[in-house]
Amino acid sequence: MGFFETVGRRVEKFKQTAMEAADETAAYRCRSCDARFDADADRCPECGSAEITPTEAGE
């Protein structure tokens, strides 16, 4: 395996781990698509649904 393939795989693994950690600590979630985010919004930034609820981590 080449150097750039190795680095690319490690970067992708780090990115996935960071996204999972952010989801676990998000303050809000969309009940329609289960997107998780920190900003209090009237609509989901992913799907546009108005079904936003606080998560246990955000309470």
Does residue 59 lie in a domain region? no
Does residue 12 lie in a domain region? yes
Does residue 34 lie in a domain region? yes
pLDDT score of 47: 94
Q: Which domain holds residue 8?
A: 3-54
Q: pLDDT for 2-58, tens place per residue?
A: 999 999 999 999 988 887 776 677 889 899 998 888 887 889 988 999 999 998 754
pLDDT score of 57: 53
For CA atoms 42, 45, 50, 55, give the dihedral sign.
negative
**pLDDT at residue 59 greater than cutoff 90:** no
pLDDT score of 2: 93
* Number of domains present in the structure of the chain: 1
